[in-house]
């Protein structure tokens, strides 16, 4: 009480992702998703106790993993479960419009929320082969909504060039946002409603109803609107009431530290970001 | 698919691998860091197989190793990486970026639906997602139509029928009954959708024990069985062993350095020069290693330690 | 389909039945003489439900009883009989032949594929059989097309989404996790394809026991749970009881005689006048009967005897 | 040795059905099928030890039932099994062209092997509602081949009318034979090849290659070509070498009696047929 308590960006980020989840909904995380893994379990232990929590490709229902491993398909992730299903049944839920939320990232993300997880370059001239979207192409079409996250919003300067993650145009659209290269979601008869939140290490965004483009909603205590604009190739909408996000409590942060003793939530950051600390 | 009624399907790893032909469409079982048939892939590399067309969902060590071993011509997986554990897959990247491997990247549920079409014996499945994604560029075989029931746009994805599935199971009997412990990932689908099913098994058990236990897969779906203890290493095969992070770390160092380094420092050491399962175990650390990887059972602390080696 | 997250789904038989509406498309679990939710059907008859559209595969006592009880408007099953045990289903026949019930007879795999379409969230499934059969006359909703991949004639069968599935399970917990022992017949498909799932359970067990055992169906797929010991009688619910051939024999006598005889001698005796599970058990022979039907466990001779009563 | 041994029509019939099965094939029986049930297990115990035997809708693989019950969906039928599958997987096998044989009957059977299990009359004016074909409509299209059986070939005389099971035309075609009301199998792109054997209590038939119609191959020791013609509304082809079927051995008959102590194999006959006995 009254003591200072330090929180890392990694912990605050987990809370931001967790806040996009609601109780009594169904949620699933894909591969290469350490932050959503921790955030989902955290949400289940805090504000979303009756959330149906599918623990990744291992497809346990409501697991209670003793810790989080740095991979999504390990027996750790089926411990303490209520039931097992097979992973195809989770995709069925999504096709039926009954998977409420999933989590996707990308090496490139455009203002409509399209993401590239496949390649820099083109299929014929692939400069960098990225891992691939796993279930993202289907689930980004089918999920009721989904959360985009990236820990690499901050643009990288190399010489006099700047490299963006939030780009004007994806080289390749793996996961579909609101307006795809092939038309708007409604024109495509997709099942789901697309991304509704984007969590980055610089801020939290939703999407403008009219233009279906990213809109800045919350900043971190140590970031500004200019930081965001500097690191975003397109110009995001700035919400008129943009302000600093609500800080979590010490108890909430302690839950995160307890459930993730290996610190897999820290694996996705450029090293300098992890130095960011916040007092609560 | 395929019905196999032989009473004794036990063959050697060499025999089993030799039935896989250059250019075959191959489904590799397991996923990411779990229960992948790596011993079989090592044998395919030793035999110099070429131009395999690999299909599946989210994978890691297996596909990267196979690309590094030169046996792959096309990859139709949905994801290949070492996740945030070790990051991008170096051999896979190199093979894609140099054009050695054709990129046929697909999406998990599309693959599942295509395998279901094959399993169900129907020509295609209708789907609503895929639309809007550039992945459709990589799959000119997909067709579009208006759903005659709802008037909405749908995509028809054709049946995907691998020539062979290679699966690492916890237990098999010689008749071909299998016990696979969950998560199955796509293994059960692969088995039912593929023309031939080659199984490497951590343990061969008696038919009595298998039947008592209740097979996951009945014998007639299995073409051949190989006795392959430690056959998924360095991926995990619980409850026998967790994945070998130390070994994968060593693997990554040479793989990242380049094709030659990978050949000289990894393939020569662990593949070309090491033909038997016993020699391989010895090479990767012998019983000390095996016991360490089995120590996950001893509790949370020991289990956590296994994710910090390397 | 449908996601149900309530912690306590336990309701009475009356409450559960009252959520089923006149005209609903109802999938009845089990099959032929096994694990049919007869106690729920008795309650629906007591409540005077009307015009239910029954869907499923090969059934017997359940559909015949429901037709005799006047709650059915259409039958889209694939087979309704007492097999060579007692032959044709008298109430079902009468209802079809008088036009009281609309004949929507279907075929097992067509139903399976239609349920799969619903389970998978896709509008239809392509099939190759059905063609050549007059069953297509009973299903103007089916569509034909040329398969764009093979050029062959195929039939598209639309997703079949029952309003409600009523399933008798061996065990349930109050959260809705279910243990169903095989054979499942179409129960697992019904559960995943239907909008609502009402389960009558032979036993309500603790959530701990259920999780330890490994649920067949996870809680979120279940809408409501009813504690219903002896709830499948006179069909079987192994391991608790075999089917009650003596009771079915009595049933057949009145059902064959005509609608009035069936009402006066069967419905009045076993349905209208008997509201509680305890009273019903007493009426059909009490614990003596229950123990006799459980005696199949005592060996082959006792088990065989149960097929010669009546 | 040399003693007389009496065999019933029910036993001889089971042997005839069993003879249509081959080793190392996949076989499945449907509902209301007491004779195929016994015949399949008998075949598995004698000439077809490596046959994949699916014991009906209960869908056990290679069960060893302690006896046969008068219904096809009882725990009796999953005893001593190698494995369980779900029944939909058996239909998948069939759709893939990998279910080698199944067994169907009908209240009406025409010369092409079409069967009516659905109704006498028409959908609008249903005079007798029959049980329905269960999986027959699909499986008769998909199975590599199938066996038709009926124990009611002998026409019934009522007054001066004769009622046939083997009819000129089915009121309703439930299960499809070689030439359906909608065309020949090849025209319909069906997966399977249709019925290849018809076993009745008067004889055993195959199908003529050219006309795709039923052809008498074997008689019972107590039946004649005229008996068959008298009881068949259409005129079947008579094979030039038609003769009496080969008799089973005493050991074979004893297997049937041992595996079917309740005698469910006798349930399908008009009472007078069961009086027929044969010496071997």
Task: Write the pLDDT tens digit of every residue in C187-199.
Answer: 999 999 999 999 9
Measure CB to CB from residue D182 to each of C96, C127, C132 and give the nearest one.
Answer: C132
Provide CB contacts within 8 A for A17, sequence distance 6+.
Answer: A35, A36, A39, A103, A147, A149, A199
DSSP A231: T
Q: Is B122 helix (H, G, I), strand (E, B) or coil?
A: coil
Q: Do B219 and D82 touch (CB under 8 A)?
A: yes
CB contact under 8 A, C185 and D73: yes
Shortest Cα–Cα distance, C179 to chain B (Å): 17
Answer whether D70 sits within 8 Å of C57, measured CB to CB. Answer: no
**Is D32 a member of any domain?**
yes
- pLDDT at position C255 is 98
User: Per the structure block, which two tokens stand in for B13?
Assistant: 């790893």
A29 within some domain: yes
Please say if the pLDDT value at position D238 is more than 60: yes
A274 domain residue, yes or no:
no
In which element (H, E) is residue C133 found?
Answer: none
D278, part of any domain: no
Mean pLDDT by 10 residues, chain B (310 residues): 97 98 98 97 98 97 98 98 96 97 97 98 96 96 97 97 98 98 97 98 98 98 98 98 97 97 97 93 97 97 94
- CATH at residue A56: 3.40.1080.10
Strand bridging mode A26-28 / A52-54: parallel
* Cα of C219 to nearest chain D Cα, Å: 21
Residues of A in contact with C177 (CB under 8 A): 82-83
Pick from C236, C269, C238, C237: nearest CA to C251: C269
Residues spanned by the domain of D226: 6-268
3-state secondary structure chain D: CCCCCEEEHHHHHHHHHHCCCCCCCEEECCCCCHHHHHHHHHHHHCCCCCCEEECHHHCEECCCCCCCCCCCCCHHHHCCCCEECCHHHHHHHHHCCCCCEEEECCCEECCCCCEECCEEECCCCEEEECCCCCCHHHHHHHCCEEEEEECCCCCEEECCEEECCECCCCCCCCECCCEECCEEHHHHCCCCCCEEEEEECCEEEEECCCCCCEEEEEECCCCCHHHHHHCECCCCEEEEEEEECCCCCHHHHHHHHHHCCCCHHHCCCCHHHHHCEEEC
Tokens 């980020």: give the residue: A13
Against chain A, the chains showing at least 3 CB pairs within 8 Å are B, C
The fold adopted by the segment(s) C10-105+161-306 is Glutaconate Coenzyme A-transferase (3.40.1080)
Quick one: closest CA in B to D26, which residue? Answer: B3
CATH 3.40.1080.10 segments of chain B: 10-105+161-306
**CB D185 to CB C138 under 8 A?**
no
**D276 domain-assigned:** no
Strands A179-180 and B52-55: unpaired
Tell me if there are at least 3 CB pairs under 8 Å linking chains C and A: yes
Q: Do B79 and A134 touch (CB under 8 A)?
A: yes
Q: Which two tokens stand for residue C213?
A: 């055992």
Grouping H, G, I as helix, E, B as strand and the rest as coil, residue B109 is helix
Residue A109 lies in a domain: yes
pLDDT by residue (tens digit) across D89-119?
999 999 999 999 999 999 999 999 999 999 9
Query: In total, how many domains does chain D have?
Result: 1
Phi then psi for residue D261, to 5 deg, are -65, -25
Q: Distances from the Cα of D138 to the Cαs of A187, C102, C108, D35, D191, in angstroms?
A: 37, 22, 7, 21, 10
Percentage with pLDDT > 70 across chain B: 100
Chains touching C by CB (3 or more pairs below 8 Å)? A, B, D
CB-closest option in D50, D85, D96 to B121: D96
Q: Collapsing DSSP states into helix, strand and coil, what is residue B279?
A: helix
Given a cut of 60, whether residue A95 has pLDDT beyond it is yes
Half-sphere exposure of C151 (CA within 13 A, CB side): 1
Give the mean model confidence (pLDDT) for residues D27-42: 98
DSSP B236: B
CA distance B218 to chain D (A): 6
Q: With the C-alpha atoms ordered C96, C99, C100, C106, is the resulting torsion angle positive or negative?
A: positive
Is A273 within the bounds of a domain? Answer: no
* Cα distance between residue A17 and residue A204, in whole Å: 9
Residues in chain D within 8 Å Cβ distance of C33: 71, 73-74
Whether the per-residue pLDDT at A2 is higher than 70: the answer is: no
Contact status, residue D4 vs residue D279, Cβ threshold 8 Å: yes
| Secondary structure of C260-301 in HEC code, one letter for each residue | HHHHHHHHHHHHHCCCCHHHHHHHCCHHHHHHHHHHHHHCHH
The complex's ipTM works out to 0.98
Mutate to test the interface with C, among D56, D58, D65, D88 (most CBs of C within 10 A): D88
Q: In which region does residue A191 sit, left (phi positive, over 0), alpha (psi from -120 to 50) or beta (all else)?
A: alpha
CA distance A127 to A142: 30
Helix (H, G, I), strand (E, B) or coil at C93: helix
Q: Report yes or no: A132 and A146 within 8 Å, Cβ to Cβ.
A: no
What is d(CA C25, CA C39) in angstroms, rounded to the nearest whole number? 19
**In terms of C-beta density within 10 A (0-12 exposed, 13-18 middle, 19 or more buried), how is residue B298 classed?**
exposed
Give the tens place of pLDDT for each residue, A224-255.
Answer: 999 999 999 999 999 999 999 999 999 999 99
The β-bridge partners of A162 are A157
| B189/A66 CB distance under 8 A | no
**Does A1 map to a domain?**
no
């Amino acid at each position: 009480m009254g003591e200072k308590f330090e929180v890392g960006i990694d912990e605050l980020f987990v809370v931001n992702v967790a806040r996009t989840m609601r109780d009594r909904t169904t949620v699933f995380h894909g591969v290469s998703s350490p932050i959503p893994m921790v955030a989902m379990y955290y949400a289940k232990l805090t504000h979303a106790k009756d959330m149906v929590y599918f623990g990744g490709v291992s497809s346990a229902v409501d697991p209670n993993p003793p810790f989080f491993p740095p991979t999504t398909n390990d027996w750790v992730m089926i411990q303490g479960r209520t039931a097992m299903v097979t992973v195809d049944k989770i995709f069925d839920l999504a096709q039926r419009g009954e998977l409420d939320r999933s989590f996707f990232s990308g090496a490139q993300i455009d203002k409509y929320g399209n993401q590239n997880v496949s390649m820099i370059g083109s299929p014929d001239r692939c400069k960098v082969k990225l891992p691939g979207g796993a279930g993202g192409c289907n689930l980004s079409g089918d999920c009721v909504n989904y959360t985009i996250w990236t820990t690499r919003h901050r643009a990288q300067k190399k010489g006099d060039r700047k490299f963006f993650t939030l780009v004007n145009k994806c080289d390749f659209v793996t996961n579909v946002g609101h307006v795809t290269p092939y038309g708007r979601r409604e024109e495509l008869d997709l099942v789901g409603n697309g991304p509704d939140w984007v969590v980055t290490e610089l801020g939290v965004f939703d999407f403008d109803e009219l233009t279906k483009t990213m809109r800045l909603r919350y900043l971190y205590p140590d970031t500004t609107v200019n930081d965001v604009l500097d690191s975003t190739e397109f110009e995001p909408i700035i919400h008129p009431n943009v302000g600093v996000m609500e800080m979590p409590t010490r108890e909430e942060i302690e839950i995160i530290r307890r459930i993730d003793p290996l610190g897999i939530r820290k694996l996705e950051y450029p090293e300098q970001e992890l130095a960011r600390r916040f007092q609560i | 698919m395929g019905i196999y009624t032989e009473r004794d399907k036990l063959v050697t790893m060499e025999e089993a691998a030799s039935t896989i032909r250059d250019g075959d469409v191959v489904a590799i079982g397991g996923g990411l860091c779990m229960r992948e048939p790596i011993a079989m892939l090592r044998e395919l590399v030793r035999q110099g197989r070429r131009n395999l067309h690999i299909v599946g969902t989210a994978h890691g060590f297996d596909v990267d190793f196979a690309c590094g071993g030169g046996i792959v011509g096309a990859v139709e997986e949905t994801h290949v990486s070492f996740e945030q554990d070790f990051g991008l897959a170096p051999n896979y990247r190199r093979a894609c970026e140099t054009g050695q491997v054709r990129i046929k990247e697909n999406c998990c549920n599309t693959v599942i639906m295509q395998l279901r079409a094959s399993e169900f014996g129907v020509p295609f499945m209708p789907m609503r997602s895929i639309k809007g994604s550039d992945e459709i560029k990589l799959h000119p075989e997909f067709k579009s139509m208006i759903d005659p029931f709802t008037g909405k746009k749908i995509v028809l994805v054709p049946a995907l029928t691998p020539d062979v599935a290679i699966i690492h199971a916890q237990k098999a009997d010689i008749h071909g009954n299998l016990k696979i412990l969950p998560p199955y990932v796509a293994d059960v689908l692969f088995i039912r959708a593929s023309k031939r099913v080659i199984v490497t098994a951590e343990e061969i058990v008696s038919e009595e024990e298998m039947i008592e236990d209740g097979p996951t897969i009945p014998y007639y779906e299995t073409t051949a069985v190989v006795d392959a203890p430690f056959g998924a290493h360095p991926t995990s095969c619980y409850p026998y062993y967790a994945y070998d992070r130390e070994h994968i770390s060593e693997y990554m160092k040479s793989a990242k350095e380049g094709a030659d380094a990978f050949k000289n420092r990894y393939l020569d050491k662990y593949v070309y020069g090491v033909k038997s399962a016993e020699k391989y175990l010895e090479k990767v650390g012998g019983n000390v290693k095996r016991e360490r990887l089995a120590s996950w059972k001893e509790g949370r602390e020991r289990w956590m330690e296994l994710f910090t080696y390397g």
